[in-house]
Amino acid sequence: MNQAFLHILIIIAIGYILKRINILKEKDGEAIARVIFNITLPSLIIVTFHSAKIEYSLIMLPAFVLMYGIISIFLGYFVFRKEERELKGTLMMLGPGYNVGLFAFPLVHAIWGSEGLTYFGMFDVGNAIIVFGIAYVIGSYYSKDGLTLKPMGILLKLSKSIPLMTYIIVSILNLSSIQLPADFIDVATTISKANIPLSLILLGIYLNFTFEKQYIKPVMKFLLFRYGFGLLFGIAFYFLMPVEPMFKYTVLIGLLLPVGLSGLPFAVEFKYDTLRLVGIISNVTIVVSMIILYLFAQFFI
């Protein structure tokens, strides 16, 4: 366990150091992210799900994530109700989404292998619907132009998520007992091996430890909200729900993951003045989640 965490930290540090010595720049992260989301992550999903046994508990995971996401949005509206409109929209937009593909998959693969990836993949299905559907609507609603998105627009946004579409298609093929060609799986397996190191290097590239004083209060308020409720729900679920251990681990860890990277492009699209704050929260939650998950791994896993 400690060795797995150490390897993860080393690769993240490599990405950060490469940025600091100007071998890589943050703008390079955009290209790496496109490779991950459109090529290596879908390949990993295909390899993981094409032969996985999808049980009833796995199908319940997306439903749980959707339910918790909706609850957290209502809680966020209450917690941030006194904030300025655009700031409230930013914090509520970031609240329910998680960085599963980049942050969780390397950690999960190191600890549980393919079984863990299957569970967290189903967690990410619900997460993708929350991020690209509900969170997107919230961001649009609190923007200067107000809500202009129609239901078909939301469906179009979801359909453009290659990882989400890959989850759905491969799951349907799996449930239908349709096997993909062996050569196709072999190629996908080779490509998927690049997902973990690229994801961790990307996290290192995006790490930034400096931010303006005016953002301290909203960042601290967001962290208390997100991790406070995440810990409360996650620990209660872990000890009270009569489900298999892997389901418990998925929920407990899933609710403590960093915010999704979608917040940055959403903030740009909606012309938010809080773009810098979104970047700070993304960075801070990566560090906080890494610390919390390391500590939890020592006691729960």
Mean per-residue pLDDT over the chain, rounded: 84
What are the tens digits of pLDDT across the range 277-288? Answer: 888 888 889 889
Asked whether 201 and 32 are in contact (CB, 8 A), the reply is: yes
Over 70: is that where the pLDDT of 1 sits? Answer: no
pLDDT for the residue numbered 184: 92
Euclidean distance between CA atoms 135 and 116, whole angstroms: 26
- pLDDT bracket for residue 135 (50, 70, 90): confident
In a domain, 116, yes or no: yes
Q: Which residue has the tokens 């919230």?
A: 138
Helix (H, G, I), strand (E, B) or coil at 59: helix
Place of tokens 């931010």: 211
In a domain, 146, yes or no: yes
257 pLDDT tier (thresholds 50, 70, 90): very high
Nearest to 116 by CA among 9, 294, 240, 245: 245
Residue 191 confidence (pLDDT) above 90: yes
Q: Tokens in use for 289?
A: 């989640």
From residue 129, alpha-carbon distances to 123, 163, 179, 213, 289 in Å are 10, 11, 26, 34, 22
pLDDT attached to residue 98: 92
| Number of domains within the chain | 1
pLDDT computed for residue 12 by the predictor:
85
Identify the residue with better confidence: 151 or 271. 271
Q: Could you report the per-residue pLDDT of 77-89, keeping only the tens digit for each?
A: 999 988 888 899 8
pLDDT value at residue 295: 81
- At residue 6, the pLDDT reads 77
Domain with residue 221: its CATH number is: 1.20.1530
Q: What is the pTM of this model?
A: 0.80
Beta carbons within 10 angstroms of residue 212's beta carbon: 9
The answer to whether residue 145 sits within a structural domain is: yes
- The predicted-structure confidence for 138-190, as pLDDT tens digits, reads as follows 888 888 776 655 667 667 766 777 877 888 888 888 878 888 899 999 999 99
Let me know if residue 90 belongs to a domain. Answer: yes
Specify the pLDDT at position 24: 87
pLDDT tens digit string along 49-68?
787 777 777 888 989 999 99
Does 48 reside within a domain? yes
Domain residue limits at 113: 39-195+208-300
Average pLDDT score over residue span 267-276: 76
In a domain, residue 12? The reply is: no
Q: How confident is the model at residue 255 (pLDDT cuts 50, 70, 90)?
A: very high
* Residue 44 counted as domain residue: yes
Rounded Cα distance, 74 and 76, in Å: 5
CB contact at 8 A, 143 and 272: yes
Task: Compute the distance between CA of residue 86 and CA of residue 287 in angstroms, rounded to an integer.
Answer: 25
pLDDT classification of 72: cutoffs 50, 70, 90: very high
Residue 263 counted as domain residue: yes
